Chains A and B, each alone.
Chain A
Amino acid sequence: AQKITQTQPGMFVQEKEAVTLDCTYDTSDQSYGLFWYKQPSSGEMIFLIYQGSYDEQNATEGRYSLNFQKARKSANLVISASQLGDSAMYFCAMTPPPNDYKLSFGAGTTVTVRA
């Protein structure tokens, strides 16, 4: 069984500053995928970034980067240069092999960006 832990229920960040969202996971699988999603108040889940367990380099997508530390089983999301539109709920998730469509989610972290 897989478990995702997000210990920060809510965070405030000043506009233009960077913020790090913590995510740790527990799995006995050697191959897995890690995801971050954003859920604005409108409700839809928006894919942000993906990291494969065998990827040697940390994933980056624009202002999003994933700090992947496999030995520590952590996959923290870094949002650089925060914008007001980044205010949302952020979820860390993972998939096991071979059913890579079956996402397991953490409880989420609410980010509020202040002007």
Chain B
Amino acid sequence: GAGVSQSPSNKVTEKGKDVELRCDPISGHTALYWYRQSLGQGLEFLIYFQGNSAPDKSGLPSDRFSAERTGGSVSTLTIQRTQQEDSAVYLCASSFQASNTEAFFGQGTRLTVV
């Protein structure tokens, strides 16, 4: 596609439910990043995928968070047993290689846990 696509754009869920957030990177981009942006804050690194290498999961805040990237393309971020503090905008970015100067961001998924 023309850019990084994230779906859904908005998600309201009840506390305790599981949610899945999807990211479609730009075709051909081998690097994919997930960030979280809480209200009025900067972005917080969550996870990084690069090609077939093991992902860097060091930013995931708890074991309720997981992510996978199938076929080196689409990525899904899953949050289990959602809590109110999980409410945030989840941003995905991709780049041809590990380079933030060439990273393109999606418009994010706004998650609200009620």
Q: Contact: A107 with B45, CB < 8 Å?
A: no
B59 touches A (CB below 8 Å): yes
Among B4, B35, B102, B103, the one with the most A-chain Cβ atoms within 10 Å of its Cβ is B103
Contact A103/B107 with A35-B100, A47-B100, A47-B101 known, Cβ cut-off 8 Å? no
User: Do the beta carbons of B100 and A100 come within 8 Å of each other?
Assistant: yes
Contact call B43/A35, Cβ cutoff below 8 A: no
Q: Does any Cβ of A come within 8 Å of B25's Cβ?
A: no
Q: Is B105 within 8 A of A103, CB to CB?
A: no
How many of chain A's residues have a CB under 8 angstroms from any CB in B?
23
Contact status of A101 and B42, CB under 8 A, knowing A42-B107, A44-B107, A45-B105: no
Binding site for B on A (CB under 8 A): 4, 33, 35, 42-47, 50, 91, 93, 95, 99-108
Q: Which residues of B contact A (CB under 8 A)?
A: 4, 31, 33, 35, 40-45, 48, 50, 56, 58-59, 89, 91, 93, 98-103, 105-108
